[in-house]
Amino acid sequence: MNAHGLDPLESDGIDVLQVNVGKLCNQTCRHCHVDAGPDRRESMSRETAEAIIRVLSESTIGILDITGGAPEMNPNFRWLVEQARQLGRHVIDRCNLTILVTKGYETLPGFLAEHQVEVVASLPCYSEENCDSQRGDGVFQKSIQALRQLNELGYGQPNGTLSLALVYNPVGPSLPPSQAQLEADYRRELREQYDLQFSKLYTITNLPISRFLDDLLQTGQYASYMQTLVESFNPQAAAGVMCRSMLSVDWQGRLYDCDFNQMLELPLTSETAKTIFDLDLAVLAKRRIVTGRHCFGCTAGAGSGCQGSFVS
């Protein structure tokens, strides 16, 4: 980083407020960096959700990116979406797809379409076997069912306004393949086998934290995976990491540089603000970012972030 003029790594404005509303999820995926699942009870309160909307209304931050867990399971999810849309902000729902076909959530796809919410959906493979090995038995077929519903509502259609992005992450300890090439493969396979469409594909590198780290350690692959990431360090990717243009909020309103730092409980360096209740956006827009060895996941190869790879 030093050799490339990137030390210390600093933010360059805040375009995205990424809000993790809690760890409750209807799935328990093998590589989950949140360690989410049906037994988790961490869940954002209305008071914290109101503080988020207050910050949005007093700023020019254009994007509210809602994640979890399964964010739709939070009782304040719909309220957050409605309020942010009333403020004219772009809203992203990081969706696991299966929640859309879960009992009690039948009206969710229609709600997302009505409010023009961008859906960013995990689908780690177009092969049922690979997908289910990472996310659990039956997940692939439910995901296909959910994608069909979204397509019927207008999501992912060419020239349509409802954006449906799919997210790929490697099943094993390797870097993702070329995003453009894989997108072409996904398009072909999903169209030919299931008559499904989507807007774009994001490839995301697995960061060596949480359940994926446990998996690496248990299988003796941690050192070799770290070596791969370090040897693939790309200064162009390092210059474009997502933490430079976003701020991450946890279910209690605490602030972080990104969702990964949030899971590692690495708070901001800033002396002025640690929570959504007392933040100073002007100061945070030019803050020093807290980095660690997990960051090699974002800086490897074509780069990796919540919008996929970003270096051609």
Residues at the site binding ligand SF4, with contacts judged by CB under 6 A: 25, 27-29, 32, 34, 36, 68-70, 96, 122, 241-243, 257-258, 260-261, 289, 291, 294-295, 298
- State the minimum distance, in angstroms, from the CB of residue 188 to ligand SF4: 25
Which tokens sit at 43? 């869940």
User: CB-wise, 10 or 278, nearer to ligand SF4?
Assistant: 10
Residue number, 151 or 291, with CB nearest to ligand SF4: 291
Q: Which is nearer to ligand SF4, 53 or 94 (CB)?
A: 94
Q: Closer to ligand SF4 by CB, 49 or 289: give it.
A: 289
Please count the CA atoms within 13 angstroms of the CA of 132 that sit on its side-chain side: 10
Distance CA 293, CA 87 (A): 38
Which is nearer to ligand SF4, 53 or 241 (by Cβ)? 241
HEC letters along 14-60: CCEEEEECECECCCCCCCCCCCCECCCCCECCHHHHHHHHHHHHCCC
Q: Tell me the closest approach of the beta carbon of residue 159 to ligand SF4, in angstroms.
A: 30
For ligand SF4, the closer of residues 287 and 294 by Cβ is 294
**Of 126 and 260, CB closest to ligand SF4:** 260
Specify the DSSP class assigned to residue 69: S
Question: Least Å distance between CB 74 and ligand SF4?
Answer: 12
Which is nearer to ligand SF4, 15 or 50 (by Cβ)?
Answer: 15
Q: Are 274 and 255 in contact (CB under 8 A)?
A: yes
For residue 164, list its beta bridge partners: 119
d(CA 174, CA 301): 11
Task: For residue 36, give Cα distances in angstroms to 90, 136, 200.
Answer: 26, 13, 26
E strands present in 171-291: 200-203, 246-249, 255-256
Tell me if residue 289 falls in helix, strand or coil. coil
In whole angstroms, how close is the CB of 57 to ligand SF4 at the nearest point? 26
Within 10 angstroms of residue 73's Cβ, the number of other Cβ atoms is: 21
d(CA 228, CA 219): 16
CA distance 252 to 22: 9
Tell the smallest beta-carbon distance from residue 24 to ligand SF4 (Å). 9
Closest separation in Å from C-beta 88 to ligand SF4: 27
Least gap, CB of 306 to ligand SF4 (angstroms)? 8
Least gap, CB of 301 to ligand SF4 (angstroms): 14
